[in-house]
């Protein structure tokens, strides 16, 4: 062979050689039972990503006239074939070297983009250009997430969650050996509904994820596929099937409340938690519980807004909290109850001269630095929740207590006390009542009962005797 091994191989994956492109060889296509007197077709064969691509030639030979080990394993005709064996061998060698050279050139222009379809194209003398331009799917998806985030189409949380989802998708490819040109990578045009079926099953069985979590993980993937289809990088028919991969949540009339992901405390559980707080001897856990109760009494304030709450946001005279909410980037006014004010006064004494109300972040934290804010939120949430879980276990809660449970608990308390959905929505800082209804309405039979009770007097007068 004229080319050195350095042109064909590169070292990767623990020093094992990985071909940059396949090399062809000829084989005599024979059946299991060989007829020594019969001539069989000589085929040009390439193997790539465990796929075998073949192309017939116009040469036929008997088994005795074919030497597979000759010509460095590429095979050639023996002299016993007849007078034309040298000319035919030269034609065969010329053809395989031409295609090998074309594949080498293609690889130089389009690194890591060779597929079985590309090889088939060269064998048929119709070189194919990849419609997906050899774009890695994970990289393509991350670029779409970054673009959406830079244009404020998605928030920081969704952007970071999307990146995390794609990291897990790469882990799936590697673990299930379904990567193509690399163990944890696949081209845009190679995404299929069958692959996503396998991904969903893997997340259920291996990661033990719920259907809701899996749907969240599918979101950036489905959006990227839709965009790839618009850009003609993916077959529209394949994309249409992929868009139908989201899991449909089954509605159960008997278990609807059990499927509610938002965990909330009843009045009895809240009372038990308050009693635990009063008897708690661990100073830091006691502070975390104070933050939990503050979030509850401050109309379900989100943990990121508790964390970034500053004294300038508090108007003790008006008994109000005025702050631009981190998630919505909108100014929100929250009326403060006496318990909330009491907690603030306690912290005012020990945080005099500090910028932030609660000591959850560094005083130097720049709220305009999205990356620093995201990391600070994750660290603070993890720290608080680890302590709250212990408190929840001590009072016998049937779920893991977290800061977000304070928000859910406020919403459920407010709705069950007769506050309208629109009022609760405004207090929670939701963009619309649709959000509030989606999260809470169907899990609150007490509210519905209270509404019907208002009609009881008139209904009773119409009772059938």
What pLDDT, on the 0 to 100 scale, is given for residue 78? 95
Q: Write the pLDDT tens digit of every residue in 65-105.
A: 999 999 989 999 999 999 899 999 999 999 999 999 989 98
Three-state SS letters, the chain: CCCCHHHHEEEECCCEEEECCCCCEEEECCCCCCCCCCCEEEEEEEEECCEEEEEEEEEEECHHHEECCCCCCCCEECHHHCCCHHHHHHHHHHHHHHHHHHHHHHHHHCCCCCCHHHHHHHHCCCCCCCCCCCCEHHHHHHHHHHHHHHCCCCCHHHHHHHHHHHHHHHHHHHHHCCCCCECCECEHHHCCHHHHHHHHHHHHHCCCCCHHHHHHHHHHHHHHHHHHHHCCCCCHHHHHHHCCCCCCCCCCCCCCHHHCCCCCCCHHHHHHHHHHHHHCCCHHHHHHHHHHHHHHHCCCCCHHHHHCCEHHHEECCCCEEEEECCCCCCEEEEECCHHHHHHHHHHHHHCCCCCECCCCCCCCCCCCCHHHHHHHHHHHHHHHHHHHHHHHHHCCCCCCCCCHHHHHHHHHHHHHCCCCHHHHHHHHCCCCHHHHHHHHHHHCHHHHHHHHHCCHHHHHHCCCC
What pLDDT, on the 0 to 100 scale, is given for residue 226? 93
Range picked from 13-22, 170-179, 208-217 for highest mean pLDDT:
170-179
pLDDT-based confidence at 330, cuts 50/70/90?
A: confident
pLDDT above 60: residue 271? yes
Better-scored residue on pLDDT, 416 or 252? 416
pLDDT above 80: residue 403? yes
pLDDT above 60: residue 7? no
Rounded mean pLDDT, 363-383: 84
pLDDT-based confidence at 447, cuts 50/70/90?
A: low
pLDDT-based confidence at 49, cuts 50/70/90?
A: confident
What pLDDT, on the 0 to 100 scale, is given for residue 155? 83
What pLDDT, on the 0 to 100 scale, is given for residue 269? 93
Rounded mean pLDDT, 178-188: 87
With a threshold of 0.85, does the pTM exceed it?
Answer: no
pLDDT-based confidence at 259, cuts 50/70/90?
A: very low
What pLDDT, on the 0 to 100 scale, is given for residue 219? 92
Considering the chain, what is the average pLDDT of its residues?
84
Rounded mean pLDDT, 27-49: 93
């Amino acid at each position: 062979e004229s080319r050195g091994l350095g042109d064909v191989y590169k070292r990767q994956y623990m020093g094992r050689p990985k071909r940059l492109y396949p090399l062809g060889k000829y084989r005599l296509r024979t059946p299991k039972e060989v007829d020594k007197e019969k001539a069989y077709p000589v085929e040009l064969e390439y193997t790539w990503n465990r796929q075998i691509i073949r192309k017939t030639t116009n040469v036929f030979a008997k088994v005795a006239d074919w030497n597979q080990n000759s010509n460095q394993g590429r095979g050639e005709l023996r002299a016993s074939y007849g007078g034309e064996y040298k000319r035919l061998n030269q034609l065969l060698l010329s053809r395989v070297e031409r295609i090998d050279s074309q594949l080498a050139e293609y690889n130089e222009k389009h690194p890591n983009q060779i597929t079985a379809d590309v090889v088939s194209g060269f064998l048929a003398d119709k070189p194919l250009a990849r419609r997906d331009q050899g774009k890695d799917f994970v990289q393509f998806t991350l670029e779409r997430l970054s673009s959406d985030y830079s244009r404020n189409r998605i928030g920081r949380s969704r952007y970071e969650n999307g990146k995390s989802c794609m990291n897990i998708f790469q882990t799936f490819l590697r673990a299930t050996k379904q990567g193509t040109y690399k163990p944890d990578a696949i081209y845009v045009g190679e995404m299929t509904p069958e692959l996503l079926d396998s991904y969903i099953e893997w997340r259920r069985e291996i990661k033990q994820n719920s259907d809701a979590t899996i749907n969240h993980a599918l979101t950036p993937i489905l959006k990227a596929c839709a965009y790839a289809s618009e850009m003609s990088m993916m077959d529209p028919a394949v994309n249409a099937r992929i868009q139908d991969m989201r899991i449909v949540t089954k509605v159960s009339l008997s278990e609807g409340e059990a499927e509610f992901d938002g965990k909330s405390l009843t009045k009895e559980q809240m009372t038990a938690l308050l009693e635990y707080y009063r008897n708690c001897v661990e100073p830091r856990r006691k502070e975390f519980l104070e933050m939990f109760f503050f979030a509850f009494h401050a109309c379900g304030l989100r943990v990121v807004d508790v964390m970034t709450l500053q004294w300038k946001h508090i108007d003790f005279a008006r008994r109000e909290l005025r702050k631009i909410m981190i998630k919505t980037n909108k100014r929100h006014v929250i009326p403060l109850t006496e318990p909330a004010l009491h907690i603030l006064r306690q912290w005012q004494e020990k945080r005099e001269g500090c910028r932030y109300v609660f000591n959850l972040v560094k005083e130097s934290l720049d709220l305009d630095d999205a990356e620093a804010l995201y990391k600070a939120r994750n660290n603070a949430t993890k720290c608080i929740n680890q302590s709250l879980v212990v408190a929840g276990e001590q009072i016998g809660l049937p779920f893991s207590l977290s800061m977000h449970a304070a928000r859910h608990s406020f919403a459920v308390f407010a709705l069950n006390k007769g506050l309208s959905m629109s009022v609760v929505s405004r207090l929670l800082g939701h963009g619309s009542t649709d959000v509030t209804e989606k999260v809470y309405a169907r899990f609150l039979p007490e509210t519905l009962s209270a509404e019907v009770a208002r009609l009881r007097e008139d209904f009773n007068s119409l009772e059938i005797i």
